[in-house]
Structure 1
Amino acid sequence: MTRKIKTSFGVLYPIAVTFGICLLVMTLSRLGLAVWQADRVAEADGWSRILLRGLRIDLSSLCYLLILPALLTTLLAGNGVIGRNWLRLLRLILVASVWFVVFMEVATPSFILEYDVRPNRLFFEYLIYPNEVFGMLWSGYKLELAIGVVVSSLTLGLAWRWSGDWTQSLTLPRWYWRPLLALLVVAVGVGGARSTLGHRPLNPALVAFSTDPLINDLTLNSAYSMLFAYKQMESEDSAFKHYPTMARAEIIERMRASTLIEPGQFLSEAMPSLARHPASYQGKPKNLVILLQESLGARYVGALGGLPLTPNLDALSRQGWNFNRMYATGTRSVRGIEAVVTGFSPTPARSVVKLTKSQKGFFTVADLLRSRGYHTQFVYGGESHFDNMKSFFLGNGFEDMQDFPTFDKMNFEGAWGASDEDLYIKAHQQFTALSQNDQPFFSLVFTSSNHSPYDYPAGRIEPYNQPAQTRENAAKYSDWALGEFFKQARQSDYWQDTVFVVVADHDSRAWGDQLVPIDHFRIPAVIVGEGIEPRQDQRLTSQLDLAPTLLSLIGVDAEHPMIGHDLTQPVPRNKQRAIMQFYKNFAWMNADNDVVIYQPQRQAQSFVYHPDTTELLPAAAPVPQEMQRTALANALWGSLAYQNSLYGGMVSLAKVRSAPTAAPIAAMSAE
């Protein structure tokens, strides 16, 4: 029987056997871990999803692991010198592969006991401190260390012995079949590794389904979990690598001084930006809805001097609280989400939505409001796993994912999923249902029609230009859908109890020869709702200011780490600023349009921005040293806070309250 199977798989028999053994180990380990955590699995109703989605992750992982050995075996294995030497090397590769998979699963229970997740970046970060790690293992984990040594030895010994049989007496293909077999291996391997026909390959967000991070991690395998975390570290760039140095204490002192908070009001050295923020509205807490508009820069908004594409938003800007000088923090959707949902400062790294250390226990408005009894949800016409949104949201306070798979009927489906009109219909249905419960709600609604390839249904708008699928027409259609939503919302039961903000995530495209194209960071933002008086706000504002302002408007007194201004309060002109990250360049602009820009490995450069011409010109004289130092402190603060976990969610805040003197500022590390 074994001989027949070996003949059937031919030259790929060693790969097939290794694949099967690793798959069995991963599956049995996941099943054992799920039984161990049975109560949490049952609470998440996750048995079938953990096992089925876990199988998908395992197949993808093993395709990544074995595709190159399979390809080279197909092309090289044989009875000649090259063929025999390759088979010897293949044995080493297969033994190492089996050992890696087994070892990672054996190490998993201890890691879960310590961190409540599968092995991640911490697992290999500690390897740079071998003396300390071995000392820790020897003093406190002797049993686990012994098990690891025994299992590793058995795995290596048995795998080496068995691999000799796997690579002997193979049925070799004739030379003219090898290229075709190689193409088949590549096709199957790449397809299995991607595990999807979508824009992005399989990732943890695609299989996440629970608000419990451990349950989502059980769906993975530990080899995949650790390697994915390692890959994500490439995104974790740090401002300290690029900008001039500054003492940690000065970073924190200047960051605090740039807020509206009095020095004595900060609550903790362990979380330096944590402070109490009283709400300006003191009535019954209201619902909060953030309508995040995809790629809608000010140049597409008539009320802000742009193209005549947004009559409905223009009308809202006259009816509500309109910000005429609002600037985004970046040029990507996840950076906009970072700003309006977490209030976190931009850094040269990718948004915290995609970074590993912020996937659990990171502060978000959703986490805060959920702790106050709010229902928290994300409404999106596409797949919420895109850009890792789903994993980040589920790990940080969002409990309800209303994305594309939850849409029953649609008027139009584009490349990015449900059209904006369908999105708003869905949102209105959700808000209507939620308003019938005696529970406030927070909803982040994210549009997508104003994104390439600009799909939208015909007959809704009179096109601004030709052909129909242009950026301008998509923006006009999205505005039409927004107007239809507000017609319904104003007639709804939830209208009088809800504060809405319409804000863009970023401009559609930022380009040009400027170090930071400031004109392309200007975005629309307007707050509307019952009791919101019409107002044209000419102050210089940042996306970071929205979340604190909205919490104040809905009546939530809170302790939180956000450094944005509560715009319901007076903001002195000398504290008005816009913060912009353009790839590795950081810009800080004051109310007089003086600009400081930090580039990698360069000192501060001074400019003047001219809004009328959108020019950014070198300043006749450097901006004051005080402004340069304040800008630098804020450029470094985000990386300092991320690397040292200084921006925790509600669980972290509770720990800080119980140990207010922990972790003095002087002891913090930047990297």
Structure 2
Amino acid sequence: MNVCSARPRPGIWAPWWRLLMGFIALSTVLRLGLLLHTGDRADLHWWSVLHVLGLGLAFDVIAGLAFCAPLAVFLAVWPRRAYAHPLGRFWLSAGYVLWCFLLLCVAASEIVFWEEFGTRFNFIAVDYLLYTHEVIGNIRESYPVGLWLSAVALVAMGLVALNRRVWLAERAAPAGGVMRDRVWPMVLRLALCALGLWMGQASWKHSLSHPQDQSLSGNGVFEFFSALRHNELDYEHFYQSLPTEEALRRMRQQLPTPHARLASDDPHDLTRRVDYGEAEKRWNVVLISVESLSADFMARFGNRQGLTPRLDALARQSLLFTHLYATGTRTVRGLEALSLAVPPTPGQSIVKRPHNEGLFTLGQVFHDKGYDTRYVYGGYGYFDNMNAFFSANGYEVVDRGAMVSAEVHHENIWGVADEDLFTLALRQADASHARGRPSFMHVMTTSNHRPFTYPEGRIDIPSKTGRDGGVKYTDWAIGDFIDRASHKPWFAHTLFVIVADHCASSAGKTDLPVERYHIPAMVFAPGLVAPREEGRLASQIDLAPTLLGLLKFRYHSRFMGHDLMDLEPGRERAFISTYQDLGVLRGDRLLRLDPREGAHVVKVLDGHATPEPAAMDWDDVADAISWYQSAAWAYHHDGLRALSVNTVAHANTADRRR
């Protein structure tokens, strides 16, 4: 045999190079595919495409080095003789198949995540990793997972087979010894990985002005671990801020309304004493927060598909808020706004943060008034930390564990169908009425959520066919609940408050697409609250104090929302946010705060934010900043804590002195 004509055997590090190149190539193809799929939501000018691809390549290299780091250690320690042994070759093949399988699964997961959220992995992906039962169950019920995984496994095995000469060839004996051919190359590769992770910053994406371009330039693996490291952002460190004393002074000027006066002269105290000078109404309250109910699903807001016939009918008989905005894009943000009535602080929702017990909540106010106070959920409340948060803040949690199988018509991984959830809620209300106690319930629906499954025969859209069916079934279930409740002895003295937790989609052409935060809210109470439309700009955090205002409750408040019925005209504002970008909406102006560019103002036309800069007086900008800065300050300095008896007594004394 002519040695010179023989093909050289691959070096020991050939598999590492092949896997790294494969990671980068697949990441680039995925980026191009997502860019084409995104269409006009991205900036498709050739120079921006080059910018996206170039920046994306940098993220891909860093993420690829991290992905291949275990392989570098493996190749350095795998003995040469194992390449020739059948068992060694088997485990080697299995290992390479597993690496390729993981690589392809990550790419497939990114596609699914993009389809659902319109972005790369972020805090949501981190959250979902912590709740594998619900998330994996949701994926299994929404997609043909077995078929997909089988196909991915076959592709992974095919890739290994096609590259078997690189993966499995017997390695030549190290010519320069173990240190030169194994240890030092491994150390170099791990050092490059560490350097890339140390230097790489998610903020590199912000050199791109378009939000979709920023998402496209990222790498899912890199984004995931970046989100894991930065779960909460320190407001004063990352955002344009004021001196703390000034921010609190401005908040003390903005929070009071005619019937909610400051409770003390302490410049750090944002507590108000709320007193309407009327007798309190001991009505029952059922607060229904509806999963992903965008305003544009309803006919009142322009929808022509007939998805919400029951809600549209209820809206005509209710106090309907037509210009109300959700604070965020996830259920935990909606729960935070509805229970705590505070603007969203950057990072994770307070519902999911540690040490969030003993806070001033809507449930605590009702509890102190002698109400039975419950959070009712059709799934298992450990998800999203709901059990821990609500049970530690004035609520009794009633979840899926309170139901037996015979009571359930249908369930999926998120919980029971909404009609069964409402059966559970009716049972709780009946129990309170039997004890002669008023009841406050916060009921959280789940059916308008992928995989969009529900009992057959309820609506004219088959189960598991998409969002439209989820919306229409939830609408049917709410109408059925009201019908059943109308026959109860407690119905005539009950307020039914129906509001969305957030919109169905948060992706848009701007960083904070205003139209993707517009949600419906209504108070249905025949004979108690006169039907009418309230068109003033409002925030989700205003709903709790407005509800308590309808009941004319006297209490000391640490809410940062306003009673809309008590707010002087011209002071309206709303808050919208992502995990990083914070917005304050006032009239036709949107002030956006972010960690990169500080504060800037754009015009809002017909409910849509535009890229066009707009002028805003500095006092208005500073007032807007003070909302978010004060909320973050209050959370970290016990300003959102439940009020003790001594605190309330002190506030009453100070109020009498004035």
The TM-score range, normalised by the shorter chain, is 0.5 to 0.7
The number of residues matched between the two structures is 462
Correspondence list, 1:344-493, <5 A: 344-358=342-356, 360-408=357-405, 409-463=407-461, 469-493=465-489
Which residue, out of 272, 277, 283, partners 2:274? Answer: 277
Q: Secondary structure at the match of 1:236?
A: coil
After superposition, the Cα gap between the structure-2 partners of 1:640 and 1:233, relative to the gap in structure 1 and judged at 3 Å, is farther
| Residue 616 (structure 1) aligns with | 610
Q: Cα offset for 1:502?
A: 0.1
3-state SS of 1:524 partner? strand
Partner in structure 2 of residue 287 of structure 1: 284
1:639 maps to 632
Q: 1:567 aligns with which of 564, 572, 595?
A: 564
1:337-390 Cα offsets, whole Å, 9 max, x none, are: 0011111211112110001131x1111111222222221111111111111111
Equivalent of 2:512 in 502, 516, 527: 516
Gaps of 5+ in 2: 1-70, 81-86, 100-128, 138-226, 653-658
Assess, with a 3 A threshold, how the Cα gap between structure 1 residues 586 and 535 changes in structure 2: closer, same or farther: same
Distance, in Å, in 1 between the alignment partners of 2:581 and 2:130 is 33
The Cα offsets for residues 91-147 of structure 1, whole Å up to 9 and x where unpaired, read as xxxxxxxxxxxxxxxxxxxxxxxxxxxxxxxxxxxxxxxxxxxxxxxxxxxxxxxxx
CA contact (8 A) 1:415 1:455 kept: no
Partner of 2:257: 261
Q: Secondary structure at the match of 2:535?
A: strand
Match of 2:581?
585
**Preserved contact between residue 499 and residue 528 of structure 1 (Cα < 8 Å):** yes
2:539 equivalent to 1:546 = no
Match for residue 506 of structure 1 among 487, 502, 508: 502
Query: Could you say which residue in structure 2 is the equivalent of 1:207?
Result: none
- Partner Cα separation in structure 2 for residue 196 and residue 301 of structure 1: 33
2:591 is aligned, of 590, 596, 617, to: 596
Distance in 2 (CA, whole Å) between partners of 1:558 and 1:565 is 14
Q: 2-side partners of 1:450 and 1:435: how far apart? A: 30
Alpha-carbon contact 1:271-1:647 (below 8 Å) kept = no
Write out aligned runs for 1:230-249 (5 A): 234-249=230-245
Contact 2:556 2:648 in 1 (8 A): no
How far does the alpha carbon of each residue in 1:54-86 deviate from its partner, in whole angstroms, 9 at most, with x for none?
A: xxxxxxxxxxxxxxxxx9999999999xxxxxx
**Aligned-partner Cα distance in 1 for 2:540–2:272:** 19
Task: Give the whole-Å Cα distance in 2 for the aligned partners of 1:254 and 1:610.
Answer: 28
Task: Please say if 1:297 is aligned against 2:288.
Answer: no
CA 1:460/1:356 → structure 2, altered by over 3 Å: closer, same or farther? same
Q: Which residue of 1 aligns with 2:110?
A: none
Q: How many Å separate the matches in 1 of 2:484 and 2:261?
A: 46
1:506-557 CA-partner distances (Å, limit 9, x unpaired) = 0011111212100010000001114110111111111111001111223421
Please give the per-residue CA displacement for 1:625-664, whole angstroms capped at 9, x wherever unaligned.
Answer: 12111111112122111122211014xx335346779xxx
Compared with structure 1, are the counterparts of its residues 338 and 557 closer, same or farther at alpha carbon in structure 2 (3 Å cutoff)? Answer: same
Residues 345, 638 of structure 1: 8 Å contact kept: yes
Q: Following the alignment from structure 1 to structure 2, what is the Cα–Cα distance between the partners of residues 304 and 336?
A: 21
Query: Does the residue aligned with 1:322 lie in a helix, a strand or coil?
Result: strand
SS in 1 for 2:630: helix
What are the Cα deviations for residues 206-247 of structure 1, in whole angstroms up to 9, with x where unaligned? Answer: xxxxxxxxxxxxxxxxxxxxxxxxx99842222223221211
Deviation by residue 1:464-496 (Cα, 9 ceiling, x = unmatched): xx8952111210110011111111122211112
**Structure 1, unaligned stretches of length 5 or more?**
1-70, 81-173, 187-192, 202-230, 662-671
- Aligned-partner residue type, residue 596 of structure 2: Q
Aligned mates of 1:195, 1:260 — CA distance in 2: 41
Paired position in structure 2 for 1:165? none
Provide the rounded CA distance (Å) in 2 between the counterparts of 1:411 and 1:428: 16
SS of 1:356's equivalent in the other structure is: coil
How far the C-alpha of 1:180 sits from its partner, in A, is 11
2:303 matched to 1:306?
yes
Residues 324 and 198 of structure 1, relative CA distance in 2, 3 Å threshold: closer
Q: 1:77 to 1:177 in 2, by over 3 A?
A: farther
Residue by residue over 1:129-178, the C-alpha shift from the partner in whole angstroms, topping out at 9 and shown as x without a partner, is: xxxxxxxxxxxxxxxxxxxxxxxxxxxxxxxxxxxxxxxxxxxxx96898
Q: Distance in 1 between matches of 2:425 and 2:254?
A: 37
Checking the alignment, whether the CA contact within 8 Å between 2:537 and 2:574 is kept in structure 1 is yes
* Counterpart amino acid of residue 595 in structure 1: L
* Aligned AA (2:289): L
Q: For the structure 1 residues 74 and 515, does the alpha-carbon distance in structure 2 shift closer, same or farther, using more than 3 Å as the test?
A: closer
Match of 1:335 in 2: 333
Aligned partner (choices 627, 633, 646) of residue 620 of structure 2: 627
Deviation at 1:429, TM superposition (A): 2.0
Is the alpha carbon distance of 1:247 and 1:430 closer, same or farther for their aligned partners in structure 2, counting shifts above 3 Å?
A: same
Question: CA–CA distance in 1 between the matches of 2:93 and 2:427?
Answer: 53
Q: Which amino acid aligns with 1:406?
A: M
- Structure 2 vs 1, CA of residues 403 and 467 (structure 1 numbering), >3 Å: closer, same or farther? closer
Provide closer, same or farther for how the CA distance between residues 266 and 232 of structure 1 changes in structure 2, counting only shifts above 3 A: farther
- CA–CA distance in structure 2, aligned partners of residues 587 and 76 of structure 1: 51
**8 A Cα contact 2:403 2:424, kept in partner:** no
Cα pair distance change 1:280/1:321, threshold 3 Å: farther
Query: Per the alignment, do residues 345 and 197 of structure 1 end up closer, same or farther by CA in structure 2, a change over 3 Å counting?
Result: closer
Q: 1:514 to 1:197 in 2, by over 3 A?
A: closer
Per the normalisation by structure 2, the TM-score is: 0.63
RMSD: 3.7
Give the C-alpha shift of residue 618 in structure 1.
1.5
Q: Normalized against structure 1, the TM-score is what?
A: 0.62
Distance 1:480 1:246, change over 3 A: same
Contact 1:259 1:575 survives alignment (8 Å) = no
Which one-letter code corresponds to 1:397 in the other structure?
A: G
| Equivalent residue, structure 1, for 2:490 | 494
CA contact under 8 A between 1:378 and 1:443: conserved in structure 2? Answer: yes
Q: 1:73 and 1:394, CA in 2 relative to 1: closer, same or farther beyond 3 A?
A: farther
Question: What letter corresponds to residue 637 of structure 1 in structure 2?
Answer: S
The equivalences for 1:177-216 within 5 A come to 197-199=133-135
Give how far 1:444 is off.
Answer: 0.7
Give CA deviations for 1:264-293 in whole Å, capped at 9, x if unaligned. 623363862211112576244222211000
Deviation at 1:253, TM superposition (A): 1.7
